[in-house]
Structure 1
Amino acid sequence: MKPIRTVYMLFACYFCFGIAIDVFPQEDTFIFGDPLPDAPALSFRGDYQVGVRTFDLTHKNQPDIQNFVEKEEPTYDRKLTVEVWYPANHKDNAVPVQYKDYFGAPNDEKRPLTPFTFPGRAVREADPERSESPYPLVIVSHGYLGSRFLMTYLTENLASKGYVVVAIHHTESTHENPGKFASTLYHRSKDQLFVLEEMGRLGKENADNFLAGLVDADQTALVGYSMGGYGVLNAGGAGYAPGFVNAFGQMTAGSRKLSERSLADPAYRESVDPRIKAIVAFAPWGMARGAWDDEGLQNLKIPTLFIAGDQDDISGYDKGVKAIFEGAKNTERYMLTYLNARHNVAPNPPLSPDLNKDDYMHYAEPVWDERRINNINQHFLTAFLDLHLKGKNERARYLDLPQNSLDETWEGFIPRTSIGLEWRQEKPGL
């Protein structure tokens, strides 16, 4: 295994001299998610300092999809690691966090599993700021393969604005633990709903946990990227299509299990948690592969923000994300499109131009500056979540926009900078 590489703003010095240095970020060091000079208004960090903690959850007695065989459907206790960011108070000598993540995968000769670290502005184990708690809950779900650290530019940013943000490390769907794709297909929405249930339990006033009284699970948003987006739509009511369920059965000898997440199962409609008040789906996978039909999409009734690239070659656009947006006719919905972008409209930017090209392209966009995408995402998620979770009606003006970003400068954007973007919004029934 290669040694851990520490990456920070001065990438050039690090790679030119071949020196591995652990440097904690200073205020003048650029960290993922920091605003560029042309950042839109709501991308800037909020008033709160941010704490971060890691803990494990166990979803007992779940189907062990990876080990399904003909007539055998074993179960297991499914362990999930989660990362929690929250409003906090930093001590004078507080040291900012270093996140540890991985490239590649085990036994991959072209992209061997390689650990790396990168800095954030949160502080581990910081004391929660409780003066204005409880805070609305945001649950973040990565893609396949991914990690709970894939969108720290967003998780830290939202926590600084008065949200408790929980990112799931989906078992059998990460770089260090890549499982069969069928496991992700089945477990993704169930993981998200389980974490919501656990956050509600741990956030109760009398709970024996630092989250007690800190989190308001009654005001929850689900945010998912790629396979995470596939999951949050299903968790929010978009039941899977019968053809897709049957195809899953051919993969696992267990289509009966995925049918639990379709409208064919009467219990599915009841599984949509009323605490979910908003959904954000970045480049959601599945529509181009038959995951939803008209009936399934029309059962989505929670306000939803879609974010996509119109050249997405993984999830598809016209027959993918755009088709989901148009088919979800019974909900208030918005769609932000990055023109000439492909699939990577959600993650942190690449760490360095010296990465293996496959690792680099796991994070990069060929046309867009990923840091610019990050700032725009921060802006729109702040407007959308503040409106739907906090009732800040003044945020609606940032969502009431002309479709073409060149018709006029969009609200909150510096003049001449709302370019390369498209916006659509529809009310239920349209």
Structure 2
Amino acid sequence: MEERWSTEHVLSLAPDAASQKAAGKLSSPAPWSATGTDGSALWGECKGSGKTPYRTVVELAAPAYQCSCPSRKFPCKHALGLLLLWSGTPGAVPAGEPTDWASEWLTARRERAEQRAARPDPPADPAAARRRAEKRSARVAAGAAELRLRLTDRIRHGLADQSTAGRWEEVAARMVDAQAPGLATRVRELDATPQHRLLEEYAMLHLLATAATRVDELPAPLAATVRARVGYTTDTAELLAGPTVRDRWHVLGSRDTSDDRLTTRRVWLRGAKTGRPALLLAFGRPGQAPDLAVPTGHVLEAELAFHPGARPLRAALGTRYGAPEPGPAAPPPGLSPAEAVAAYGTAVADDPWLDSWPTVLTDVVPVLTPEGWHLTDGRHTLPVRRAATSEAALWRLAAVSTGRPLTVFGEHGHQGFAPVTAWAADHRPIGLSTP
């Protein structure tokens, strides 16, 4: 029997909350005609404001979308509406053969994929690659050395001296010129850092800049961590060609963050056999949802390739062995608040710049105190990191708990715990970052 996606899974594909709301109005059979599915794709015609209905096709595996509407959002409300109709109304999208227009798009897409797979990669020039790497290393080291001087100069003037306030953007631009975008991002954040945290941020940034100037002297795992923090990237194809870890990965949660340039989706996994945590990242342009969509609570059997580092967490998704399946009937095992603090301490010992670590808490209750929200097991408490959690999400968490202990997944770090998913009394995962 064909497994249909959950409503949560479909809505996770939406580029924004407005698209989710608009898609909900198109999730009934009324505006649709000529719908169908062959198990790998959906198609249908949706009545719009004009005489000609919009033709919509969704390929489920990627997923990928095509619609004749003029929307610049991707996927558009019609593609999302068709998916909601298919997932929520059995029989509204009957089995059949694709229409001519749907078959034309699906065939063209398949042919393009085959052509890309058959196209040989251009031969590599090891000598040229080595020269580029050496040149960049020299520029990064010079930029890091300059950053150390700037930080030292700022300390010499005193943290209370506001005469140079707002000048970090200029330093960030210098780090971009030095091909160290990771340093540039951390420097740019200094202008918005509260006064009481400036010394801490200066110290960590100075430590990273120092490590960047001596990266060849560091142990290989720590050197890889420093390079990643500075802004070096690893090619996904190169990662997947190396060692991979095959497991049944439990999807613990996901969260989207957006700015003017990019939507970033974070998906956290845990291996059923290995117990390893993993973080998948996907990106989308404004108005376009990231193409990675796996429902929270499901299990995905796949190979992952981890980025090198002293504390490997981020991974690239390799070969999948089937579609995501419903996960275990019970919440994932976790830690007490005291154990979570110890686990984060162990992680920081490997990676000093680690802001947080994925953590499952068990038997905790959300409570609102005069100092803000906390998660407690009656003996120890963890403050909730408000900057990463909306007030609505926290009240949703309290509503799921109703005063009873529950399991919560999130990120725990030196600024507190940022909840992402909670498991209700019926063991159903509830996302805490959805609109």
Structure 2-normalised TM-score?
A: 0.23
The structure carrying a bigger helix percent of its residues is 2
Higher relative contact order (CA 8 A, sep 6+): 1
Structure 1-normalised TM-score?
A: 0.23
